[in-house]
């Protein structure tokens, strides 16, 4: 009987979401301001009964939360940093989320990612230019304070789909809330 109970507990724990799981990739037509606010708002610390003791500001054991992030499939013209009209519509929704009460004071990293086709140096430059293009659009067209936005090119170093290197999800923008 104990073995069955232990097996049931193991199955339930395995079914729980993995902490720090990357989360879904939002395509341009799927971007929703409320969902973005939920994905990008800082999460409260997870309390644990571990042997390693980490204290929060009130002295109770806590585990530091992962940075809140959202992956967006923002499209660009081929081999360029020019945003497509669909990308601009999606970024208007991103700006709406960034202007929400829960995120209005937050700072964000805009990470540009590329697939591994082409030279690594070219992919790094292109991903940086794409991150800057998103930052410039949010600051210029959506009036998000530029000081809240850091553009970071990641090149092809963080593939989301390693099984299919040329997959579109490897050419994405990731928003990371830098506030804690």
Would residue 91 count as lying in a domain?
A: yes
Q: How many domains in the chain?
A: 1
pLDDT at 112 over 80: yes
Would residue 145 count as lying in a domain?
A: yes
Would residue 10 count as lying in a domain?
A: no
Q: Work out the pLDDT band at 73, boundaries 50, 70, 90.
A: confident
**Residue 11: what pLDDT?**
32
Q: What is the dihedral of CA 168, 137, 153, 117, to 10 degrees?
A: 30
pTM exceeds 0.75 for this model: no
Q: Work out the pLDDT band at 49, boundaries 50, 70, 90.
A: low
Q: What is the CATH number of the domain that holds 86?
A: 3.30.1330.60
Q: Which domain holds residue 47?
A: 21-177
Contact 45, 156 (CB under 8 A): no
Q: Work out the pLDDT band at 127, boundaries 50, 70, 90.
A: very high
Would residue 1 count as lying in a domain?
A: no
Would residue 153 count as lying in a domain?
A: yes
Would residue 132 count as lying in a domain?
A: yes
Angle at 165 between CA 129 and CA 21, to 5 degrees: 85
């Amino acid at each position: 009987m104990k073995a069955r109970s232990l097996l049931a507990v193991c199955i339930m724990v395995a079914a729980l979401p993995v902490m720090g799981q990357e989360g879904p990739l939002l395509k341009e037509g799927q971007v929703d301001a409320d969902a973005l606010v939920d994905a990008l708002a800082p999460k409260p610390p997870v309390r644990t009964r571990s042997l390693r003791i980490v204290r929060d500001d009130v002295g109770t054991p806590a585990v530091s939360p992962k940075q809140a992030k959202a992956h967006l499939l923002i499209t660009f013209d081929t081999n360029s940093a020019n945003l497509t009209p669909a990308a601009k519509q999606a970024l208007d929704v991103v700006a709406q989320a960034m202007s929400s009460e829960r995120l209005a004071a937050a700072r964000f990293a805009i990470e540009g990612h590329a697939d591994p086709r082409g030279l690594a140096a070219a992919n790094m430059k292109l991903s940086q230019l794409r991150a800057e293009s998103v930052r410039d659009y949010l600051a210029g067209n959506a009036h998000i304070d530029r000081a809240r936005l850091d553009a970071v090119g990641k090149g092809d170093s963080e593939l989301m789909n390693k099984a299919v290197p040329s997959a579109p999800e490897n050419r994405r923008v990731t928003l990371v809330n830098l506030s804690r």
